[in-house]
A and B are shown apart, each in its own frame.
Chain A
Amino acid sequence: MGAAWYFVLAAMLTAYAVLDGFDFGVGIVHLVVARDDAERRVALAAIGPWWDGNEVWLIAAGGCFFFAFPRAYGAAFCGLYLPLMVTLWLIILRGLAIELRPQIHHPLWRAAWDAVFAGASAAMAIVLGVALGNVLRGVPIDASGYFHEDLFSGMGSHAAGAIDGFTAATGVFALVLLGAHGASFLAWKTEGELATRARALARRLWPMALAAGVLATWLLFARDPAFFSTVAARPWLWPLPAGAIAAAGIGWRALGARRDRLAFLSSSAFIVTMLLASAGVLYPAILTSTVDPAFTIDARSAATGSGTLAVGLAILGPALAVACGYFVFLFRAFRGKVDVAAYDHD
């Protein structure tokens, strides 16, 4: 049961990264590709019906994490206290920027919220990348089952902080990748100059994202060659990196051929395969201890009782399927290019 929940959670977090990822990406690139108020309204209208629902994947995944692996939930959240608090503030600021910008017609009001939206979106992308980096690298869990990590490495303490060389690399990777993802989304959902610029930017960011991905992977394997042998020992994982490479190639060609929907689907597939591959390599570890492997919190030691987990899966599984249905419905209802008139309700 712990294994089932491990992969349910990995799938939910992956859905979150793909979905909120594109609206983070729109935030990252919109100052560059959308030049005036009319274009920025189009960019925001493109994510208008989405972003709030996308964010629910994080909240729902958080709830499921809490339920299935409470010991890991407690350890992770109190160990990464400050990074999490800052993340919460960023989420709040970002939501405010999206909600408040359209409410007042004033150039300075809108410019200010545009900057907040861009800054908070970029910071959130980095945060997600750094979080993934911490999970891959491990954290200093000790015999108590908890840890306490500083924000940065080398700031008056010898222990690795939440942000060190490797996790900074994963942070930059996430920033560039989600920028490309969001630009592809805008190219697909909008028209005219805005779409052209978004497509051109996506085509520039895409190879940079792949380069950052290769660098982060290399750093990971260099730090800990055991990852490589784990991948080698699990043939069921091999299709995932292969899929990521294929998605990277298809995405590049689709951007060149102006097949925007295919480009967006490719960047989505790239994120999905990459994250599921990460989960597949880490399994069963949830939080790897850098102090002693014996302190690692894994899907067995942290799990709620098996009976409760089965009941939980029976209750929550169908509801998750219904939630996926909502998103299909949403994609269909708002298919085609974005309609600004419906978004600006004043």
Chain B
Amino acid sequence: MDAVAWSRIQFAFTITYHYLFPQLTMGLALLLVVFKVLAARGADSVWNDLARFWGRIFAVNFGAGVVTGIPLEFQFGTNWARFSSATGGVIGLTLAMEGVFAFFAESVFLGFFLFGEKKLGPRVHLASILMVFLGSWASGYFIVVTNAFMQAPIGCAVGADGRFAVTDVGRFLFNAWGFWEYAHTMTAAVITGSFAVAAVGAYWALMGEHLHHARSALKVSVVAGLAACVLQAFPTGDEQGKLVAERQPAALAAMEGEFETSDRAGLAILGQPNVAEHRLENPIVVPRVLSFLAYGSFGASVRGLDDIPRDDWPDNVELVYFAYHIMVGLGTILLAVMALAAVLLWRGSLLGARPVLWLLLLSFPLPYIATTAGWTTAELGRQPWLVYGLLRTVHGASPGLGAGDVVFSTVGFCGLYSAVSVLVLLLVAKQLARSPVPAPESA
């Protein structure tokens, strides 16, 4: 393999690994704000207990997110120097804004949140977690807008020298693609956070421990989780699908395994794409639904891969197809689980419904898988482009960088991140085992 292929593998690995942490912390940040607001409104200490319990787990994940996030910004320069050189005047703006607007607020106020509860009082403590929440959600926005530029460039132009320049800051920072991608990403983060909180609540309930805490945690997480699961499908997922159909027909065709153009395209639920023979094997198809989902009409024509030049196909059609199907399939399952839990919660019988509690307990890994599959769909669907339609991936790599250097650093990241995994799991397990009820003050 050449240096470009290795650089792609390295970036895919480091960013996928990194994003295991922010998806939880961004979702948890919202729930922590909810806990602290509820704590401020009443005398019940349960909300502060939950905020402290999840604050500790938040801190471990936040730390891991920070240390694994730093390499990414630098990898743009190290492995993708031509891309950086050409587009820095555009995406450098959003990356700089992320640092200046989001990271300062997040890191400084997280220090207040973790170290200052006694010293600074409840109001500043609530304000601190609010700032951490705003910072982390702003950070998500700047990254998604950066990605939106790569997926569907808008508000900028390429000069004769091949360098990109912003022509309309407003449209670059605020556009439909960026908005729906952001909404879809953030609801996914809330799903991950809600399932984590619900799983621990379900665990307490199944063990018959801390029942008041279990009930309170489940109430908040199931309501937030159901709302996020619904928003995930409609309107955010739906709108994003329509935008992909409009701006990236090759990606849509690969996602759906559509080789032939059809004006009554069906939605493939299952099946295996056979790229060599240009067909879907063992398909189970719901007729005409794809035409409707993509263009809002059961008779709309959906372009198949055969009508798109081979050079413009995503270079891994199979992986795009399966990643997309895994995302949609798991999204459906997650919605069903939360809907079931919400019905029981509404009827007041969730804490006694052991099978559903088991389901909640065991479901917490699924949002991570769904989110990873979703980003895999988006990023592999964007191929063979770095900036869709304007800059090909092979033209963005660093000149003169040998495969040996990239393999060396990739192996180094693998080793280091293996150690990070063991340590993070150890620490999260240790925090999960702690009681949410604080030990009596030893004065």
User: Measuring CB to CB, which residues of chain A are less than 8 angstroms from any residue of chain B?
Assistant: 48-50, 52-53, 55-56, 58-71, 73-78, 81-82, 84-85, 88-89, 91-93, 95-96, 99-100, 103-104, 144-146, 148, 304-305, 308, 311-312, 315-316, 319-320, 322-323, 326-327, 329-330, 333-334, 339, 342-343, 345
Contacts and interface: CB of A to CB of B under 8 A. Distances in A.
11 contacts: A49-B116, A58-B70, A60-B103, A65-B92, A70-B85, A70-B88, A81-B78, A146-B399, A148-B400, A316-B100, A342-B118
B420 A62 contact: no
B75 to A, nearest CB: 8
B107 A56 contact: yes
A63 B108 contact: no
A100 B78 contact: no
Contacts of B419: 96
Contacts of A343: 115
Nearest to A80: B78
Given A73-B84, A85-B409, A326-B104, A100 B73 contact: no
Interface in B71-121: 71, 73-74, 76-79, 81-89, 91-93, 95-101, 103-105, 107-112, 114-116, 118-120
A70 B420 contact: no
Given A73-B84, A345-B56, A96 B169 contact: no
A286 B405 CA distance: 25
A92 B104 contact: no
B369 interface: no
Given A96-B67, A311-B166, A319 B97 contact: yes
A63 B111 contact: no
A40 B90 CA distance: 45
The 9 closest A-B pairs by CB, nearest first: A70-B88, A77-B77, A67-B92, A60-B99, A304-B89, A63-B96, A74-B81, A49-B111, A74-B85
B269 interface: no
For chain B, give the interface size range.
35 or more
Contacts of A308: 89, 93, 165-166
Nearest to B98: A63
A74 B104 contact: no
A81 B10 CA distance: 14
B93 A323 contact: no
A11 to B, nearest CB: 13
A46 to B, nearest CB: 12
B319 interface: no
Contacts of A75: 81, 85
Nearest to B163: A70
A95 B97 CA distance: 23
A49 B101 CA distance: 19
Contacts of B63: 52, 95-96, 99
Nearest to A56: B103
B247 to A, nearest CB: 24
Nearest to A91: B70
B136 interface: no
Q: Is the interface of A mostly helix, strand, loop or mixed?
A: helix
Nearest to A69: B88
B401 interface: yes
Contacts of A59: 70, 73, 99, 103
Nearest to B106: A56
Contact of B66 (A52, A64, A71, A78): A52
A92 to B, nearest CB: 4
A310 to B, nearest CB: 11
Nearest to A100: B423
Nearest to B119: A342
Contacts of B408: 82, 85
Contacts of A326: 104-105, 108-109
A93 B68 CA distance: 10
A333 B117 CA distance: 12
Contacts of B98: 63
Interface in B347-398: 398
A2 to B, nearest CB: 12
B104 A53 contact: yes
Contact of B398 (A49, A81, A345): A81
Contacts of B68: 92
B119 A339 contact: yes
Nearest to B14: A88
Contact of A64 (B96, B118, B398): B96
Contacts of A339: 119
A92 B420 contact: yes
B372 to A, nearest CB: 21
A85 B67 contact: no
B78 A342 contact: no
Given A63-B92, A70-B84, A326-B104, A345 B114 contact: yes
B400 A95 contact: no
B176 interface: no
B249 to A, nearest CB: 31
B270 interface: no
A305 B81 contact: no
Contacts of A312: 93, 96
Contact of B70 (A92, A104, A342): A92
B287 interface: no
B412 interface: yes
B160 interface: no
B20 interface: no
A316 B89 contact: no
B400 A146 contact: yes
B231 interface: no
Contacts of B1: none
B96 A311 contact: no
A93 B103 CA distance: 20
A92 B416 contact: yes
Contact of A48 (B79, B111, B120): B111
A78 B99 contact: no
A316 B86 CA distance: 21
